[in-house]
A and B are shown apart, each in its own frame.
Chain A
Amino acid sequence: MKSFLLAIVAFAAVIAAIPAARGQNNYEIQVYGSETVAPKTTMVELHSNFTVDGQKNVVDGMEPDNHVEHETVEITQGINDWSEVGFYIFTSEKSGQGVQWVGDHIRPRVRVPPSWHWPVGVSLSTEAGYQRAKFAPDTWDWEIRPIIDKTSGRWYWAVNPALERAWHGPDVKLGIDFSPAVKISYDFTKQITGGIEYYADYGSITDIASLHDQQQQIFPAIDLNVSPNWEINFGVGVGPTAATDHWIVKGIIGRRFSWGKLN
């Protein structure tokens, strides 16, 4: 327990030392692990994110997200033991506006098979899709996300140094955007894992944004490992920079469906 607290303090110190940046749209707040969904298995996840204290004004034609609920359905199909394809349906719910469709993404992913005996888990995800201009200034964008992780005893860490590129919208001219995410967690019990997740957007890799314009979020989060078929994650995030939503509550609930394992 003492080592866990020390690690959190060290992690917070590292985060504080990073020159912070701009951020994501809070539809899917998750640090990816390197494992892919098994073949003949479909993973269905619901990402529920509520912005408790966020942007209250229309900026560049974008709807404010204060007190807005984002519900994202993610369906991931395992292809073989080293690849999967994910599909997203993004929605936004706000009082008086009902449920609004925001956009869709597709996300193929490959990984280094564990039989290669690499010392860390490695996979590469790429994601592309559309979102309505009302909810995001860039309507078409693309992301490539290397994923490196490692489980050792009760400890787990993952790093996602993601790069994003707008294909259509005002940020096209900004080129490639750097949006890293990091997670470190500790297994308190077989069922309960607690940790810290960090999400950031530093802006263009050729012109890192000022701290004021960067987005940074830190989420103390809990993973509940109640069943092999279920994935449950819950966290409360704080955004310390001006460009970040200040308080967000996020939850992920996922169910794994398998079939035809025998034949």
Chain B
Amino acid sequence: MTTRRSFLGGAAVTAAAAALQSALPASAQSPAGQSFGAPDYNLEIAELDWELAAHKKIRTWAYNGQIPGPLLRVTEGKPVSIEIANRTDHPEIVHWHGQWIPVAADGAAEEGSPMIPAGASTRITFTPRPAGLHWYHTHAPADRNLSRGLYTGQFGVLQVAPRSGPGLDPGHYDQEQFIVLHDWDPYYASSDDGSLMVNYASGSINGRLLGHGEPIPVRPGQRVLFQVLNASATEPHWLSLPGHHFQVLALDGAPVATQATVPMLRLGPAERVTAIVTMDHPGVWVLGEVQRTFRDAGIGIVVEYAGATGEPQSTKLEHLTWDYRVFGSPTPAIHKPDLTIPLVFTSRFKGHGALDQWMINGKSYPRTQMPNLHAGLRHRLVFINHSTDNHPVHLHRHNFELVSISGVPLSGVHKDVVVVDAGTTVEADLIADNPGNTLFHCHQQDHMDMGFMGVFRYA
């Protein structure tokens, strides 16, 4: 039944959508004014009861009634239109993580992208770039509500195929597997350092607890291309496959200078890894969290060689290892920056029963004061982490090249999220080539909700 109120709401939304369309820059609009034709994709945000395992259901919000949301395959440089229907009872917004697109389409209210009112629909159109493994997810704040924001099932993979020219060449591979990690059943608990943090009772790969999803069937000698995304709201994860190694081809969708082979992957929240694994160790294995606590909570998926039988075997590793530097150029080439922007991360204790307040250069969002960016110039962002937490910091609508970690020079690793470990400094070069408000934030939902955000503006 349409009430006057819902009619007015719908009318307002239509007006807002029209306003948005008119506000979109050319590269954010669909070609030939096809805004109200059939979109390339539809996304419906709605509540659902999702079965993580046979006897484990959760109620959450998700895209198109599935977790993860539908895999969206688009082509670099070819405009795509997406109709988003918000069937929730609260405003929502979808962020196209890793895409160099205009503010209106980016999906971050802090930059100025419009929220989608409850019950309304909107259409966004953008021209995907760059190619690689990217994703889309809600960018609505959770505040302290653990059933909102990235604590929900609102995430999915956006795979951008290169249109032409040099892109990621994974070489020959026999199958491609998308691996999406997420943590569920969040609750507040004391952290080791005495501050409140978010813990989880369960976790999943591709929406299923370990042992409750379909195994990945492989044959000896196969090369499997794994496209891995950590869609957790707050947790970094380490992944391993017993007896196998990962040849890392790309980080956050960008090809790396050195395709190093590593025994495990680490992905901070929002990070992506593209890696090849040669199946040369027959058996039944768990591709899963190295840390048993998380594996027991469900973060794993069975990899089953043809003809192999028995219980899936997990990794027994003594140490967690990961170093971005192994993927850098063997001879780092560091350019002189035009501008240097120090960003100091600190926190303020608010009690053992409260989340810490987070600050960039001494101020919390929305009071953060970020220096202006200058189009065409090389900006050296200096991430100085004075806190006792690691921070997966993310820059919207751009990426950056890592140029040093703890003073050790590096080049050839381009990312849009980098984990800055506690007490360390990471330097990254940003070429400002996508004018418009640009959000910078820690991708831990609880940190960004508690002030760890700032908006760069172009001069």
Contact = CB atoms under 8 A, between A and B. Distances in A.
A187 B349 contact: yes
Interface in B167-215: 185, 187-196, 199, 201
A263 interface: yes
B290 interface: yes
B199 to A, nearest CB: 7
A262 B291 contact: yes
A154 B192 CA distance: 17
- In the A-B complex, list the 10 residue pairs whose CB atoms are closest, starting with the nearest: A151-B353, A154-B351, A115-B201, A228-B192, A190-B349, A153-B351, A114-B187, A153-B354, A152-B353, A263-B316
A22 to B, nearest CB: 33
A193 B190 CA distance: 15
Given A114-B189, A228-B194, A156 B352 contact: yes
A35 B190 contact: yes
B230 to A, nearest CB: 18
Interface in B278-315: 290-293, 315
A225 interface: yes
B105 to A, nearest CB: 37
A113 interface: yes
A189 B187 CA distance: 24
B352 A261 contact: no
A262 B292 contact: yes
Given A114-B199, A225-B194, A261-B293, A153 B353 contact: yes
B353 A155 contact: yes
A117 interface: yes
Nearest to A150: B353
Nearest to B350: A153
A113 B201 contact: yes
B216 interface: no
Contacts of B323: none
Interface in A246-262: 261-262
B317 interface: yes
A53 B16 CA distance: 77
11 contacts: A115-B187, A150-B353, A151-B190, A152-B354, A154-B354, A156-B352, A189-B349, A225-B194, A228-B191, A262-B290, A263-B316
B291 A151 contact: no
A155 B187 CA distance: 19
Contacts of B201: 113, 115
Contacts of A155: 351, 353
A215 to B, nearest CB: 30
B320 A262 contact: yes
Contacts of A190: 193-195, 349, 352
